[in-house]
Amino acid sequence: MKKFFAVAVAALILAIAPVTFADDAASSAAPAGAAMAGPAGKSYEVVCASCYITKGASGADHAACAAKCISSGMELALLRAGKLYVPVDSDFKSARDQFVSKAGQTVVVDGKVYSKGGVRYLMISAPVATQ
């Protein structure tokens, strides 16, 4: 089980690495070949990516664990209809700081969804509101 967990975390890190180490001069335009949807403006649950990927853990029963995991540095994601989204700002840099205090909660987020290579990003365009 530890090996599976390690592989899952490594896969998540590799999926996020291009965003984390992107050139600081990157523009806010969508990357070539990325699919883009309209404004999101929808409800998402802030989940611990590791717990969701490895155990399917989410919802009210998992809120306290998500808060503990995320506040201790575990990666977070936004969950909607069984799909995970990586929150980013207009330069595709992590928007994690906006969500750490909302771990395990449902938030309403305005932004655009970008998808490429099986990874979905939610580019935040307005302040996050707790539902």
Express each pLDDT in 27-63 by its tens digit. 345 555 555 554 447 899 999 999 999 999 999 999 9
- Considering the entire predicted model, what is its pTM? 0.69
> Shortest CA distance to 88 belongs to which of 74, 72, 109?
109
pLDDT at 114: 96
| Cα–Cα distance measured from residue 100 to residue 80, given in angstroms and rounded to the nearest whole number | 17
Strand 119-124 relative to strand 83-88, pairing: parallel
| Cα–Cα distance measured from residue 70 to residue 78, given in angstroms and rounded to the nearest whole number | 12
Strand 76-80 relative to strand 35-39, pairing: unpaired
